[in-house]
Amino acid sequence: MKVIFLTLIMGILCIMHTKAQHSGGCISQETSPISKQIHVAKGTGNPQMDRWLDREATILRGFFGVNPGLLLYNDSLVNNPGGYASSVSESATYPDGTIALGYNYLQNMYNYSGNFTMIPVVAAHEFAHIVDCTLKVTPAIPIYKELYADYMAGSFIAYSTNQSWIDISRNFRWIVRIGDYAAINDPDCHGTSLQRMAAFKSGYDWFKSQAQAGNKVLGKDASGAARGYLNLPEEKMVSNK
């Protein structure tokens, strides 16, 4: 029933067009380095946040099993604040692509929550896109890529935090509060708020159930679960390395 319901709301809700604002497609289609497309910043302007991001990036790389670079950029200069993921590497140190996070968007999350607990959700979403680019899990339909990333982000948050679901869901609702009603094949189509929250919660619940059963799982295991959640065939997972 879950898959049928998900398919129905994908087909019905995501074909709707509105002028609603949203974060925009967060997978760069450009072949040039992402640093050439944005105004790269040296930091967020908050030294404590910068140190925390460095530590969190190490945890994210370990969980997801990929090693992308992490950049910050001035998102006040672009129309789509938030984050981007690119399969193009910026250096040999980080061979698995590049993630860029807008520091104004991060600061807004900090202002809302009063701590850094929201930021891993966005970072994990972008790391999941890198996993998808590496393993080619999802088809070339934007909404599958975005809901896959939301599911994976939910799994990571279950792995990395002891926060209650009430606190986590409150934060995630802020991130998806506007929703996205772009056409299903539009690169901006992230899914509606309902779809995104369902994917995130399913990833969170899956990891917690695995942990309670005594199973040690990481990002590669979550990827298989996300593929099943989206009803994607197993043969979609083909490494490009």
Q: In the chain, count H helices and then E strands.
A: 8, 4
Tens of pLDDT, residues 54-96: 999 999 999 999 999 999 998 887 666 678 899 999 999 999 9
More confident residue, 189 or 92: 92
Amino acid at 88: V
Kindly report, residue by residue over 99-144, the tens digit of the pLDDT: 999 988 898 888 888 888 888 999 999 999 999 999 999 998 888 9
Question: Is the distance from CB of 202 to CB of 228 less than 8 angstroms?
Answer: no
For residue 195, give the amino acid letter. Answer: Q
The DSSP secondary-structure symbol of 216 reads: -
Q: Judge whether 53 and 126 are in contact, CB under 8 Å.
A: no
- Of 63, 62, 134, the C-alpha closest to 98 is 134
- What's the confidence (pLDDT) of residue 238? 41
- What pTM value is reported for the model? 0.83
Q: What is the dihedral of CA 76, 118, 48, 104, to 10 degrees?
A: 0
Distance CA 139, CA 136 (A): 8
Written as one letter, the residue type at 140 is A
Give residue 132's pLDDT.
Answer: 95
CB atoms within 10 A of CB 68: 29
Round to the nearest angstrom and report the end-to-end CA distance of the chain: 36
**Predicted local distance difference test score (pLDDT) of residue 169:** 86
**Residue 14, pLDDT above cutoff 80:** no
pLDDT of 239: 43
